[in-house]
Structure 1
């Protein structure tokens, strides 16, 4: 399958880092803000090929973002392009009067541990925004009610450290292993992508079986700079293929989600492509940032994700022209599992393309449930054929699309012989 290189290589490795641990040890490190040039990497696989949860990374504490009680709300600059401008995760805002701060708060990131003041803008209700953000949208919950949930389909994720006991996916998680992983604690990234793919309330395929490998895509050198090496990713894909061979025919892994751009001229690039090809030969489709022509959608956090007119260009590319050869996937204003606690959630105003990848993987799992003979090529062909276009401005007749239509896609896939 032709690979489409995206402009946004690793969208959310920049979000928050992790640190590794292992039995097989190599030197160097992966952390968003490394303080040393060398950190331990760990590889821990299930013993005796009996799939298991090999380790439970620790919860994280984000109170360091704004220590103590906040004295001022950060402002949002629409022209900045910088992420995390209004980062309120695990912060105490109880001393603030925010009644006139709606424009800034509509771009806030916050979580279950954020403490809100009594004075909030009219219409800004954090709990309501989180509930709206949990909905994968575009009719998916209606499909779930009909039993189209990914049940019996294996979905693998290669990402950062996972809070393995989170209520969103604990029951779905069949394996957690680590390969060259620097994360001692759970990352913000891992719980997010896992819950978007298979979360009970957040996910696209809430009853798919989850196989998870935490892996670090390279090492930090002695100067503290990150050296990419996709050979570890290749090993992780190979491991998933190996695991898949041990599974019964009615429980096979059908898709791998990798929220990373696999970019030419990166160390290990050819190895990664070779491993993806091996997985494909075993009936496993790999979704990554540049694997197919898709891009992420934005959404006002106060609007309903089931209403297609709620969607806009994603924050990531809102000032760029839309190329109508790209399929548009929900991305921004998502509420996901949080690494701060097994019952905690976090609202991400700007998801980045990393949030679109597990959405696609989850949707592919649903199509595998209704039609076990589906292939990636047919999936994408019908995803485009069944997509929607909406009017942006009636006066100019400007349109916006192709927007994924999960309901129509599933209906079409079910009918294919």
Structure 2
């Protein structure tokens, strides 16, 4: 296990776990030392003053603990997306509310934009809660409504000329988008849902100039999940800080023309923000999953878009792929073009 930053105090209380993503220890205290290896280029970018300022980053997840110390001073807009019914959901102030009961989205946002742990700590966050924090439940309709809300935010008068990135650390379900029952739709119905979602993402890319990044999944080689498996989306696998592949990182070929993942990011024993406890103590956690490597890459993309806001989505994507650190000791079919980094 890699070492935590030396100024994080350890608390042996068990974390509330979501699947196999969370380690069994939580940590607290102020984080002051970067965990990102030098080859990530993150320290270099920060020394140049490139920290994501004026870049919009959308996050579809469980929510965010906006009162965590990692988000002090951060511009955060939040919307709860209604999973059922005709209403799309509602906006409310992210601060002063418990908007993430289990902490998954808080960890994702910490990797992207945490003041001391984030890859791009000056971005503006737009967080749509499309997963229930208690069980990470979501559905296609809810995700598409979240995409609609983000498109409206990114195309608003105040934001329409700002570069944007979207992170989706979620794996889409294979059951009905309208009910919580486990009924499996027909193959044709499921394909239609996936096609509709792909079209929605394509519209976000072309109409709002948004670079879309998503986790590829945690079920090992030969497996992949949407939306990370879409050609238009940068599907992200995971490695550890030494450059070794995360055993559960997914990979495969969604079609003859598409191989996934496109890239990998750091996603093993990554220290990130976790929800505060009832005493208001600011907790951190070590997490291993592609749902953490994806926001790492989203943060790298935000640095590139901050450095040159005029770049189109395709230009940013090509730059990230071209500048990726080659992982020659790892199977290419599982790491794609290599480790995303800022150069």
Determine the structure 2 residue equivalent to 1:333. 269
Aligned 1:193-342 pairs, distance under 5 A: 193-216=108-131, 229-249=139-159, 252=162, 254-262=164-172, 265=190, 268-280=193-205, 281-289=207-215, 290=228, 291-299=233-241, 310-317=242-249, 326-341=262-277
Q: How far is the alpha carbon of 1:282 from its aligned partner? A: 1.7
**Residues 84-121 of structure 1: per-residue CA shift (max 9 Å, x gap):** 79613xxxxxxxxxxxxxxxxxxxxx3229xxxxxxxx
**Residues 204-224 of structure 1: per-residue CA shift (max 9 Å, x gap):** 11101111111237999xxxx
Correspondence 1:376 to 2:318: no
Determine the structure 2 residue equivalent to 1:154. 56
Determine the structure 1 residue equivalent to 2:36. 135
Q: How far is the alpha carbon of 1:185 from its aligned partner? A: 4.7
In 1, the alpha carbon distance for the partners of 2:283 and 2:14 equals 18
Q: How far is the alpha carbon of 1:184 from its aligned partner? A: 6.4
In 1, the alpha carbon distance for the partners of 2:197 and 2:133 equals 13
Determine the structure 2 residue equivalent to 1:353. 290
1:172 to 63, 74, 84: 74
Alpha carbons 1:148, 1:369 under 8 Å: kept:
yes
Alpha carbons 1:175, 1:210 under 8 Å: kept:
yes
In 2, the alpha carbon distance for the partners of 1:217 and 1:199 equals 22
Alpha carbons 1:298, 1:315 under 8 Å: kept:
no
In 1, the alpha carbon distance for the partners of 2:336 and 2:195 equals 34
Identify the range of structure 1 (232-241 vs 382-391) with the bigger mean alpha-carbon deviation: 382-391
In 2, the alpha carbon distance for the partners of 1:405 and 1:261 equals 21
Alpha carbons 1:181, 1:214 under 8 Å: kept:
no
Q: CA RMSD in A?
A: 3.9
Q: How far is the alpha carbon of 1:197 from its aligned partner? A: 0.8
Is the partner of 2:304 in helix, strand or coil?
Answer: helix
Alpha carbons 2:239, 2:268 under 8 Å: kept:
yes
Q: How far is the alpha carbon of 1:356 from its aligned partner? A: 1.5
Q: TM-score, normalised by structure 1?
A: 0.56
In 2, the alpha carbon distance for the partners of 1:238 and 1:84 equals 28
1:112 to 21, 28, 51: 28
Is the partner of 1:374 in helix, strand or coil?
Answer: coil
Q: How far is the alpha carbon of 1:239 from its aligned partner? A: 0.7
The 1:253–1:381 alpha-carbon spacing in structure 2 relative to 1, beyond 3 Å, is closer
Identify the range of structure 1 (161-170 vs 148-157) with the bigger mean alpha-carbon deviation: 161-170
Identify the range of structure 1 (329-338 vs 248-257) with the bigger mean alpha-carbon deviation: 248-257
Alpha carbons 1:197, 1:358 under 8 Å: kept:
yes
Alpha carbons 1:217, 1:229 under 8 Å: kept:
no
Is the partner of 1:200 in helix, strand or coil?
Answer: coil
Identify the range of structure 1 (326-335 vs 372-381) with the bigger mean alpha-carbon deviation: 372-381
Which structure has the larger Rg over C-alpha atoms?
1
Q: Which runs of 5+ in 2 are unaligned?
A: 1-11, 85-97, 175-189, 216-227, 253-258
Alpha carbons 1:135, 1:201 under 8 Å: kept:
no
Correspondence 1:389 to 2:326: yes
2:303 to 366, 369, 372: 366
In 1, the alpha carbon distance for the partners of 2:265 and 2:83 equals 29
Alpha carbons 1:231, 1:271 under 8 Å: kept:
no
In 1, the alpha carbon distance for the partners of 2:82 and 2:60 equals 12
Is the partner of 1:388 in helix, strand or coil?
Answer: coil
Determine the structure 2 residue equivalent to 1:191. 106
Q: Which runs of 5+ in 1 are unaligned?
A: 1-61, 67-81, 89-109, 114-126, 221-225, 300-309, 394-399, 409-417
Alpha carbons 1:229, 1:266 under 8 Å: kept:
no
The 1:185–1:139 alpha-carbon spacing in structure 2 relative to 1, beyond 3 Å, is closer
Q: How far is the alpha carbon of 1:192 from its aligned partner? A: 0.5
Number of residue-to-residue matches in the alignment: 273
In 2, the alpha carbon distance for the partners of 1:179 and 1:359 equals 24
In 1, the alpha carbon distance for the partners of 2:329 and 2:266 equals 17
In 1, the alpha carbon distance for the partners of 2:295 and 2:250 equals 21
**Residues 174-233 of structure 1: per-residue CA shift (max 9 Å, x gap):** 31111126986532211111011111111111101111111237999xxxxx98621111
